[in-house]
Structure 1
Amino acid sequence: MVEAHFSPTDLISKSRTRAPPYVPSSGDSTMAVNSVRVAAAQMTSINDLATNYATCARLVKEAASAGAKLLCYPENFSFVGAKEGESLRIAEPLDGPIMKRYCALARESNMWLSLGGFQERGSDDAHLCNSHVLIDDAGKVRSTYKKMHLFDVDVPGGAVYKESNFTEAGKEIVAVDSPFGRLGLTVCYDLRFPELYQRLRFHHGVQVLLVPAAFTKVTGEAHWEVLLRARAIETQCYVIAAAQGGKHSEKRESFGDTLIIDPWGTVIGRLPDRASTGIVVADIDFSLIESVRTKMPISQHRMPIEFWKQASM
């Protein structure tokens, strides 16, 4: 038996009217609808908090003008160190002045913000947490995910990185309800580990995966898009991948290529210039998520963990 042949347009059921599985809590002002507009930002952050904030504030205005209600920033949106130890020196708790300023930006802009890769103060002076912080349109921190997989690699043709020298690894999977569906929070290098995304989809009911990143130029050229599309296809989720792009300093350059991908694996939003600063906008269509999952019900076909334990014997 071979897979049936159908296109993404075949998957969209025009007769479906059921609302997405998000029920606003008391106090929420934004009701879920059948589709909602989101945006992903691309920027070249540097080791200057004020300059990066000014860029973020400008991009919020662009996203609002485009009708988006969620703006996703890349990893290290607020600061990229140029010298060893700089990120540790500026790290602070979530109730510190840096995050308070971004909470105010969300509130004043009436915009949800996905702040990928914030330098949150760790458990000791020698470590920070690479934290993905989700803020709602009232300026409230809704959820925080600490990056699980740390980038300790010797990149072929590139530099040697050891993130664990100064970063604590997170241990908790984070999914959160929002007007944009159920969101799964991840950061950059997590992208190479499909188990996390499988759990977000099949154990936590996620509909949209957020992947803020600062991929290196070498790894980005080789793997960035194919990994993102694979995560979208195998989970049947939207993927919003906000990326750092361009040269941050003499020693550091990021690949860029900010993307938004639908549950069929189609790129529906892409910034034309990999190194430019700007936003890309797309609509999250809840009927498409439902239709893809109904017509290809992989959640029903997955083998339970018990099966794999027996098969490995």
Structure 2
Amino acid sequence: MALASLAAAASLLPAAAARSRVSLARCRGMASSSSPSAAAGASAAARVGVVQMTSVGDLDANYATCSRLAKEAASSGVKFLCFPEVFSFISSKDGESIKIAEPLDGPIMQRYCSLAKESSMWLSLGGFQEKGPDDSHQYNTHVLIDDSGEIRSSYRKIHLFDVDVPGNMVYKESRFTTAGDTVVAVDSPFGRLGLTVCYDLRFPELYQCLRFKHRAQVLLVPSAFTKVTGEAHWEILLRARAIETQCYVIAAAQAGKHNEKRESYGDSIIIDPWGTVIARLPDRLSTGFAVADVDLSKVEAVRTKMPISEHRKFDSVWKTSSL
């Protein structure tokens, strides 16, 4: 494509600034009734907010922070507010998160449903400790609540963080968490949303599936990245996901020291479909939120100027060879 055409696409973007559940293995499922070009009922532009916070091992304290931020965001005209992974609770001792884990109709999540209704705001709540299949496991669940306080969709984190980060803690999420096996995209007034959680970010095939199989326009990445991995890869990975899928990316992040054992990188950001960061907090440690307008016409403009969906070959049979 000519450079002039690419420049034209870039000029359309700010310079600075129904549900579907499918098998991951096959990346397919129920057909959606929504239009392929845009989510049903989605407005051309909508004000969204991305939260940065430092959750602790106190459910009430974390809720007080979330409630305050939701009310402040609503006063700023935000209609969709995205919270980070483990927004409601971060344990300081082994086994604590299992003890507080609840089903989605339990009192913890219902409290947040009431918050959404009271604030007349959609909420993205990433990384909730949902009660698992047995007493020793939970699910790491991303929950989407609408402005009437109803749970619209939920996604159980597929890729679990089992790593030994150099210079940091050894972490084995699978020891107490059961992985999900379902890709989730859902229509909303803010576009078609693709739900993910934290470590999923390192697996581009999930985001390709959300974009090309399930027509996502906005990708949600609530996270609690470690300081070491965040410094190295956080923004790079997020911008890559935005560029390769031509989607908005909203990435809410935990920040700072939660306890003596755990520290998160921070840097909550919103990225447009051209890969430009259009909103972020002034620093990586403060509690607050950043605001941006998500304009679906810019998604379509980028995809029209650079039609990668027409050029991709992954749905074809490829010839392979080995030496």
User: Quick check: 1:64 aligned with 2:74?
Assistant: yes
Shift of 1:307: 3.1
- Which letter does structure 1 place at the counterpart of 2:302? V
User: Quick check: 1:114 aligned with 2:131?
Assistant: no
CA distance in 1, matches of 2:73, 2:321: 49
Query: Which of residues 208, 216, 222 is equivalent to 2:232?
Result: 222
Moved more, 57-66 or 291-300: 57-66
CA distance in 1, matches of 2:88, 2:121: 17
SS at match of 1:120: strand
Instruction: Specify the alignment match of 1:300 in structure 2.
Output: 310
SS at match of 2:316: helix
Shift of 1:7: 5.4
Instruction: Specify the alignment match of 2:201 in structure 1.
Output: 191
Shift of 1:33: 1.9
User: Quick check: 1:232 aligned with 2:242?
Assistant: yes
CA distance in 1, matches of 2:168, 2:140: 22
User: Quick check: 1:182 aligned with 2:199?
Assistant: no
Pair 10,148 (structure 1): closer, same or farther in 2 beyond 3 Å: same
Off by >4 Å, runs of 4+ in structure 1: 1-5
- Which letter does structure 2 place at the counterpart of 1:10? S
User: Quick check: 1:47 aligned with 2:48?
Assistant: no
**TM-score, with length taken from structure 1:** 0.93
User: Quick check: 1:255 aligned with 2:252?
Assistant: no
User: How many residues align structurally?
Assistant: 299
**TM-score, with length taken from structure 2:** 0.90
SS at match of 2:293: strand
Query: Which of residues 279, 286, 297 is equivalent to 1:269?
Result: 279
- Which letter does structure 2 place at the counterpart of 1:113? L
Question: 5+ unaligned residues in a row in structure 1: which ranges?
Answer: 13-19, 25-31
- Which letter does structure 1 place at the counterpart of 2:139? C
Instruction: Specify the alignment match of 1:17 in structure 2.
Output: none
Shift of 1:158: 1.1
SS at match of 2:117: helix
Instruction: Specify the alignment match of 1:22 in structure 2.
Output: 39
Query: Which of residues 107, 124, 129 is equivalent to 2:134?
Result: 124
Instruction: Specify the alignment match of 1:27 in structure 2.
Output: none
- Map 1:75-94; keep pairs closer than 5 Å: 75-94=85-104
SS at match of 1:307: coil
SS at match of 2:152: strand
Instruction: Specify the alignment match of 1:166 in structure 2.
Output: 176
- Which letter does structure 2 place at the counterpart of 1:81? S
Instruction: Specify the alignment match of 1:244 in structure 2.
Output: 254
* Identical aligned residues as a percent: 70
CA distance in 2, matches of 1:307, 1:221: 39
Q: Deviations over 1:37-85 (max 9, x none)?
A: 0001010000000000000000001111111100000000000001111
- Which letter does structure 1 place at the counterpart of 2:300? E
Instruction: Specify the alignment match of 1:16 in structure 2.
Output: none
Q: Deviations over 1:205-227 (max 9, x none)?
A: 00000000000000000000000
Q: Deviations over 1:251-278 (max 9, x none)?
A: 1000000000000000000111101100
Shift of 1:311: 3.0
Give RMSD over aligned pairs.
1.5
Shift of 1:293: 0.2
8 A Cα contact 2:56 2:89, kept in partner: yes
SS at match of 1:306: coil
